[in-house]
Amino acid sequence: MTSSAPTVSDLHEVYSLNVEAQSQRYGRLVSAFTAAYGAKPDFIARAPGRVNIIGEHIDYCGFPVFPMAIAPDTLVAARANGTERVRIANVEAQRYPAREFSATGDIFDIDSTSHEWSNYFKCGYRGLFDHLGRRDGRGFDALLDGTVPAGGGLSSSAAFVCATELAVQRINGIDLTQNELASIAAGAERHVGVNSGGMDQTASIMGQQGSALFIEFHPRLQATPVKLPNSTPHLVFVIANTLVVSDKHVTAPVCYNLRVVETRVGALVLARHLGVAGRPACKNVDPLTFKIVMDEFYAEQNTAGRDNVDVWIERLEAMLEASHAAFGSLAEGYTREQMAGALGISCSELSAKVHEAQFPVRAERFQLLKRAQHVFSEALRVVRFRQICERENGDDADGKSSNNSSVGAALGDLMNQSQDSCRDQFECSCKELDEVCAIARRAGSLGSRLTGAGWGGCSVHLVAQDRVSAVKEALVQEYYLKQYPQLSADKLDDALFATAPGRGACYFYEK
């Protein structure tokens, strides 16, 4: 999208549910800002979390994903202060102490080994100015309020970085496009040692009410809104947070970053197996991804007159077979020496090629076959999910609701297959996520899967509207009351809720 982040003055343009409660929240933020800094904020920058409906751990492999923006978000109330100091505070002051930095100095210094909340603010700030090739920021005061649960798989860090980025650009008189903002934010999180693929930031910046986003990353970033089928009863999504916290910053060497490295090495090995490693498109690119390898292998294929979805399916199925041939002889996993040998390089050269100094990993064996099988099969599921949605919303649908239960069942089956693959092939689930998915399915969920990085956090469930209460009640009785009997009603509401596709990042000004 080439447009700028929009500006609104009516919260009904931002939230479809609980608008009055959100209005009170904004009012409290303005009052707290005024008390802290002696004047009202100039504006509030807002960026939402996201839930990925399907397409897990494939964005950084270059393949499309299918997320939607949600109501939980990060707000940054901001006001220029006429100095060269940047002062930031959080409404949860005891948990997140106030900090102060030089707008042209130490705000650019980010220690990725320190688990410090202000590092994410610095990421948004530095990312913007690195993109512009400048370090001449203006001073301002900021107060943050976030409702996206940290470590829950709903992209709290992306919401934080994106909201900061919006605030910083407005204070400094900058006006970048949504595409630019999403790309900058994705790169910025690398300053805290998290190797982000870009899905989270794109969904947060570009989300649209009523539509999910089919996000493509290669050969260029492109977000296509896709409406969900208009069925009777309506299909909605229930989000259930397991409350098992997965902190990417802490667990990255054995979880998130390890999976990135396994897929990066897998792409390098697959390129050699398919005979395309020496071509410029593969040789001169960093990082090399499975999507680039696939595209280069089919670079000379004539697809004129063919359906795009059919081409996707044909290629992805062929890549599933190719990955078996490339990695199947070491199905138990590769040692570092075996990976280096497969590439004809030394272990130290391999470490440098995957940037291990910046993104350290720990493993005795690297599961290249399992990871490749998940990536290609998950990409297939994303393409088929979009195909079903667009077929139901096609010209012949005339905007009418469908009462064909097979539509929801087909979408749900893809989500269930995704969860199986995340658990068995990518090994990013956990027993609590498996349990929550099983409970929801027994209660009537059409499809249940983890969402986000996994290893805890949230799950997403496709549910017919007339079954939402039953699914939520089952989760309360069979999971939350057993695992967290002291959980307050407010905390339960934050952990378990129904949602629909929401608006992306924006600026709010009071009328």
- Residues tagged active-site: 200
Residue 94 neighbours by CB distance under 10 Å: 6
Q: Are 8 and 46 in contact (CB under 8 A)?
A: no
Residue 286 neighbours by CB distance under 10 Å: 8
Q: Are 246 and 153 in contact (CB under 8 A)?
A: yes
Nearest-angstrom CA–CA distance, 75 and 30 = 11
Nearest-angstrom CA–CA distance, 396 and 444 = 29
Cα angle 34, 141, 505 (rounded to 5 degrees) comes to 95
Tell me the pairing of strands 7-8 and 506-508: parallel
Residue 44 neighbours by CB distance under 10 Å: 23
Tokens 């980025």 sit at which residue?
165
> What are the b/e assignments for 299-315, b being 16+ CB within 10 Å?
eeeeeeeeeeeeebbeb
At 86 the three-state DSSP class reads strand
At 270 the three-state DSSP class reads helix
Q: Are 185 and 202 in contact (CB under 8 A)?
A: no
At 502 the three-state DSSP class reads strand
Tokens 């300053």 sit at which residue?
191
Nearest-angstrom CA–CA distance, 457 and 442 = 21
Find the helix or strand (DSSP H, E) in which 326 lies.
helix 308-327
Residue 407 neighbours by CB distance under 10 Å: 20
- Sequence-ordered list of residues with C-beta below 8 angstroms from that of 429, at least 6 positions apart, any chain: 419, 422, 423, 450, 454, 455
Q: Are 128 and 182 in contact (CB under 8 A)?
A: no
At 321 the three-state DSSP class reads helix
